[in-house]
Amino acid sequence: MNIIDMTISGLHAALKSKQLSSVEATKAMLERIETVEPQVGSFITVTADHALECAATADLRIASGRMDMLTGIPLAVKDIFLTEGIRTTCGSRILENFIPPYSATSYQNLRDSGAVLLGKLNQDEFAMGSSNESSAFGVCRNPWDTTRIPGGSSGGSAAAIAARQAIATLGTDTGGSIRQPASHCGCVGLKPTYGRVSRYGVIAYASSLDQVGPLTRDVTDNAIMLSALAGYDPKDSTSVDEPVPDYVSELAGGIKGLKIGLPKEYFIAGLDPDVQKTMDAVIETYRRLGAEFVEISLPHTDYAVATYYLIATAEASSNLARYDGVRFGHRAKEAAGLLDMYTKSRSEGFGAEVKRRIMLGTYALSSGYYDAYYVKAQKARTLIMNDFIKAFESVDVMLTPVAPTPAFKIGEKVNDPLQMYLSDIFTIPVNLAGTCAMSLPAGFSADGLPIGVQLIGKPFGEEVILRAGYAFEQATEWHKATAAL
């Protein structure tokens, strides 16, 4: 098997049995990156020298017998994760030359396990977008069809896996930013429960919704990654001190008698026929595996996008106030005084989508509109959360589409932000409810574009959706398909 096609578990076995060294594996990945990067654009920064150093250290560690599941595995992370000494842009001109003085806990956990960093991945600017088109560092293309978007905001994280430029990657998900690109690029993407993985050192977009998670080729790899990432971090006061199960050994339990809810609000008229067909086939597979289906209702689904775009933009307008040109980031050259320096630095540094969301959030929080917009949205969020709590009284997991359509064309929605926002309709409610969900490769459109389905779990029920995903994967071959690129 080619190195670039390997999974974490496969490469781990090869490293352990000394069939391969981490340096060999890392070189193969770097060569692959060089070959296909002009067609894909998954990376903002490739850290080739650093990767080879990490790999050499990993090989020593393997030789000394202190090997971990991720030791020597070449990975890449979204450019939203602070990496000490390595440029971190968050897809924005305002951080074009920013070298973080410390690292994100999640990234550090991967490094502590001995993982190799290949580079920093392309993304929508400040994770604001569903297509990766708001990146200040070039277009990222879908490896299955390079005229199409890879999804966003973790577009590079999904495209790098589909293009076989990394064995696994790290993304973040505020409204679907792991699951939607995973669905569009045919990989497994998990958004853990809010608080499951530390957000320390992850550049903030909407702090009550942001969560870190892995994108991988298969469910086993996802469980391996989550095991390295999950857990309480004293540096993140919103991380939760819940016991971390052994996600890998939990995979094989089977799903006989698992109660799967189908929320009727997610099976709307106008769902893309290929997506509908995929859903039908997945339901059939699960039935065959012994799952029971229950129709459920999440009655406030239709209000989720509106709720999200008030809460997320309000939090963003506050979080992004820190980019003022004083302590780090871009500072405007010509400025008449301090206030003008703030204003010019921000206006030069931020792209259009970021400005638009800061404007919306500022409006929603401004005097006279605070109660009508922001507080109203927080109340709607309560109703949406309660929908999930109630539905989970009668089911173990939920099964839904990830996105209403397969990957759309580059440029198709770029001039219509509202249409772009509505493409996240099935992923946003999960972030508002704070629970966990996973996108699983489940089929292809007539045009050969990957289509994922979403398994939603109870809070801190990651092992249940991973097990359900694993059972599906054992019965199907979708996750083994590779883009022709």
Cβ pair 168, 221 in contact under 8 A: yes
Show the binding pattern over residues 415-454: x = contacts other proteins (CB under 8 A), - = does not. --xx--x----------xxxx-------------------
Compute how many other C-beta atoms are within 10 angstroms of the C-beta atom of residue 18.
10
Within the chain, what is the greatest distance between any pair of CA atoms? 70
Q: CB of 458: closest distance to other proteins in angstroms?
A: 12
**300 in contact with other proteins (CB under 8 A):** yes
Q: CB of 93: closest distance to other proteins in angstroms?
A: 14
Taking the least distance from each CB to other proteins, the nearer of 210 and 396 is 210
CA distances from 312 to 306, 430, 452 (A): 10, 14, 25
Beta bridge partners of 451: 443
Note the Cα 185 to chain centre separation in Å. Answer: 12
**373 in contact with other proteins (CB under 8 A):** yes
Taking the least distance from each CB to other proteins, the nearer of 91 and 329 is 329
Stretch that binds other proteins, among 15-23, 123-131, 164-172, 306-314 (CB under 8 A): 306-314
390 is an active site residue: no
- Site for other proteins (CB under 8 A): which residue of 32, 141, 148, 346? 346
153 is an active site residue: yes
- Site for other proteins (CB under 8 A): which residue of 39, 249, 347, 394? 347
Q: CB of 456: closest distance to other proteins in angstroms?
A: 14
Burial-class residue 241 by CB neighbours within 10 Å (0-12, 13-18, 19+).
Answer: exposed
Catalytic residue among 92, 106, 153, 317, which? Answer: 153
366 is an active site residue: no
Q: CB of 379: closest distance to other proteins in angstroms?
A: 4
Is residue 379 helix, strand or coil? Answer: helix
Catalytic residue among 78, 120, 191, 458, which? Answer: 78
The CA dihedral of 177, 183, 189, 192, to the nearest 10 degrees, is: 60
**326 in contact with other proteins (CB under 8 A):** yes
Cβ pair 374, 314 in contact under 8 A: yes
Smallest CA-to-CA distance from 431 within 403, 400, 456, 465 is with: 456
Stretch that binds other proteins, among 120-128, 170-178, 216-224, 319-327 (CB under 8 A): 319-327
- Site for other proteins (CB under 8 A): which residue of 13, 352, 447, 475? 352
Catalytic residue among 21, 103, 135, 177, which? Answer: 177
**329 in contact with other proteins (CB under 8 A):** yes
**411 in contact with other proteins (CB under 8 A):** no
Q: Give the DSSP letter string of 347-365.
A: HHHS-HHHHHHHHHHHHHH
Cβ pair 87, 30 in contact under 8 A: no
**310 in contact with other proteins (CB under 8 A):** yes
**337 in contact with other proteins (CB under 8 A):** yes
**240 in contact with other proteins (CB under 8 A):** yes
Buried b (16+ CB within 10 A) or exposed e, 321-336: eebbbeebbbbbeeee
Q: CB of 345: closest distance to other proteins in angstroms?
A: 8
Catalytic residue numbers, as ranges? 78, 153, 177
